[in-house]
């Protein structure tokens, strides 16, 4: 990119912790999987989940009544956004944009717990009476990801450009790229970029059974992350140096498409293969993507392979949040001069030999995106 756009103040909310030092300390020994919040009959091969803790909105200076009108995914996103942006003391952030990768956050009516409790009660109470008693106040008001984003913007007094991205796994990296372009092109002075994982809901195993056709099924997990994009000034800033986005029309095209995207991103960043010191990527969604990703990386880095971090192997299946969690981890590592490689479901620290990282995201329908992060000098 011609303009120097820096990624600053990365935040995270996850089962691994609510700040990067907690998360990094847990990488070598991840927290154990938790029991899924749905009946065993609906697990569909899922052995467990990684649920993030409920965010304490009051400690962030936010009115607890907000939690009544927001799904947990929206509350996680709001908490991560507040961690990065802070609670504004000014009247408005008129020149701040908001770019979010949000899955749909519909509240099912009736709620799963209401249905479950009614059956456990032997259906003795008339269903209408039971539903009125069991449905929480304001349940179901955050009905769309766009309305959840507007809610977050209003709470943080952001009134600049706003965009909300699809529920698919490329949403977080698309939000990051478009937010950086908005800052570079003067649409806003700074952009708050975030993404959150899908909700741990009884419907999630059904959705994953349809979309996740990879050989190794990953446990669903919750995480939210945010980062602020600003014009770069400091020497230790981590910048978005280059990016590329594409689409594989059929599964046998993945190797060609991904290879061309990496070429384009490196060219925009004025970097070569040997300038990359760290590879981070989301998990493939089917066998052809597994093969394509492996072949492309092995062909480019046959010798002196940079450490590889498969973010969802460690954190769990994060969907839209995966690439942004990877990017935020890259920002943290590049600033501190260290990196990690994944080893099964854990990670180990490795030396960082070059201060540039390549982030790759793949999505079920063939979407691909690549970003190069690093310092200002080649």
**List of domains in the chain:** 5-231 (3.40.47.10), 240-374 (3.40.47.10)
pLDDT at 140: 47
Contacts of 124 (CB under 8 A, 6+ apart): none
> Above 70 in pLDDT, residue 378?
no
Q: Which is nearest to 195 in space by CA: 318, 348, 364?
A: 318
Give 351-376 as a DSSP string.
E--SSEEEEEEE-TTSEEEEEEEE-S
pLDDT one-digit tens code per residue, 49-102: 999 999 988 887 777 776 766 778 888 999 999 999 987 665 677 799 999 998
Would you call 24 helix, strand, or coil by DSSP?
helix
Please measure the distance between the N-terminal and C-terminal CA atoms of the chain and give it in whole angstroms: 13
**pLDDT above 70 as % of the chain:** 89
Q: How far apart are CA 335 and CA 338, in angstroms?
A: 8
pLDDT at 309: 97
> Above 60 in pLDDT, residue 271?
yes
pLDDT at 325: 97
* Strand partners for 226: 11, 194
Place of tokens 């009614």: 118
The token pair that represents 206 in the structure block: 């059904």
Helix (H) or strand (E) holding 345: none
In this prediction, residues 328-351 reach a mean pLDDT of: 93
Contacts of 349 (CB under 8 A, 6+ apart): 28, 338, 339, 340
Give 135-195 as a DSSP string.
SPTTTT---SHHHHHHHHHHHTTB-S-EEEE-SSTTHHHHHHHHHHHHHHTTS-SEEEEEE
The token pair that represents 272 in the structure block: 């070569």
The token pair that represents 350 in the structure block: 């490795």
- Give the mean pLDDT of the chain: 87
pLDDT one-digit tens code per residue, 33-43: 999 887 775 67
Q: Let me know: does 194 contact 226? Beta carbons within 8 Å.
A: yes
pLDDT band at 113 (very low <50, low <70, confident <90, very high): confident
Give 287-322 as a DSSP string.
HHHHHHHHHHHHHH-SSSPPPEEEHHHHH-B-GGGH
Would you call 244 helix, strand, or coil by DSSP?
strand
**Cα–Cα separations (whole angstroms), residue 268 to 316, 324, 373, 376:** 31, 20, 11, 13
pLDDT at 126: 82
pLDDT one-digit tens code per residue, 255-265: 999 999 999 99
């Amino acid at each position: 990119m011609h303009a120097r756009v820096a990624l600053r103040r990365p935040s995270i909310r996850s089962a691994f912790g609510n700040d990067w030092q907690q998360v990094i300390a847990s990488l070598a020994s991840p927290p154990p999987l938790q029991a899924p919040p749905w009946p065993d009959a609906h697990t569909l091969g899922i052995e467990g989940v990684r649920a993030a803790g409920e965010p304490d909105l009051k400690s962030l200076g936010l009115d607890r009544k907000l939690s009544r009108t927001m799904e947990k995914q929206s509350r996680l996103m709001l908490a991560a956004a507040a961690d990065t942006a802070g609670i504004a003391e000014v009247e408005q952030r008129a020149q701040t944009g908001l770019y979010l990768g949000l899955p749909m956050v519909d509240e099912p009516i009736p709620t799963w717990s209401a249905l479950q409790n009614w059956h456990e009660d032997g259906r003795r109470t008339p269903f209408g009476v039971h539903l009125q008693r069991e449905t929480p106040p304001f349940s179901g008001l955050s009905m769309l990801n766009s309305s959840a984003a507007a809610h977050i913007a209003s709470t943080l007094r952001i009134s600049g450009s706003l965009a909300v991205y699809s529920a698919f796994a490329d949403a977080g990296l698309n939000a990051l790229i478009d937010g950086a372009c908005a800052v570079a092109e003067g649409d806003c002075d700074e952009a708050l970029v975030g993404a959150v994982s899908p909700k741990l809901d009884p419907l999630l195993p059904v959705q994953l059974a349809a979309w996740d056709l990879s050989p190794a099924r990953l446990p669903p997990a919750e995480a939210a992350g945010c980062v602020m994009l600003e014009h770069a000034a400091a020497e230790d800033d981590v910048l978005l140096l280059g990016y590329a986005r594409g689409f594989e029309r059929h599964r046998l095209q993945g190797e060609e498409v991904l290879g061309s995207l990496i070429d384009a991103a490196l060219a925009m960043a004025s970097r070569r293969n040997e300038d990359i010191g760290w590879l981070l990527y989301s998990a493939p969604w089917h066998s052809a993507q597994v093969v394509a990703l492996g072949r492309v990386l092995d062909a480019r880095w046959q010798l002196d392979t940079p450490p590889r971090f498969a973010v969802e192997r460690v954190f769990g299946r994060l969907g839209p949040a995966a690439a942004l969690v990877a990017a935020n981890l890259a920002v943290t590592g590049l600033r501190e001069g260290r990196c990690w490689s994944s080893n099964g479901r854990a990670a180990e620290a490795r030396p960082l030999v070059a201060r540039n990282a390549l982030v790759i995201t793949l999505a079920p329908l063939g979407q691909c995106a690549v970003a190069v992060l690093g310092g200002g000098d080649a």
